[in-house]
Homo-oligomer: A and B are copies of this chain.
Amino acid sequence: MDHITLLGYIAAILTSLSFIPQAWLVIRTGRTDGISLLMYAAFTLGVACWLIYGLFIQAFPVVAANAVTLTLAVIIFTVTARERWASRNAIR
């Protein structure tokens, strides 16, 4: 593998796995105060598009990286949405 391809793999691994500490943090603490729900709505949809795109062009690294990211993004989005919903009901 040449250096440029290696850099691409490092980039894919870093950006995909970076969502692990964020997912773990929201699961463990349930604190989603500073998290933008709109961000995770758009981001989750975008990553789903990347995944379908990767399947179409048959690019394994694109599929693998985005499958991991999609799973983590869905977790973060779901926990954040549930917390927002719960706190909205608590105010009423």
Contacts and interface: CB of A to CB of B under 8 A. Distances in A.
Interface of A: 4, 7-8, 10-22, 24-26, 29, 31-36, 38-43, 45-47, 49-50, 52-53, 56-57, 80
A38 to B, nearest CB: 4
Contact of A17 (B8, B12, B15, B42): B42
Nearest 10 A-B pairs (CB), nearest first? A14-B46, A11-B49, A15-B46, A18-B42, A33-B33, A18-B43, A22-B39, A22-B36, A21-B38, A11-B50
Given A22-B35, A29-B34, A31-B33, 5 more contacts: A7-B56, A10-B46, A15-B50, A18-B38, A18-B41
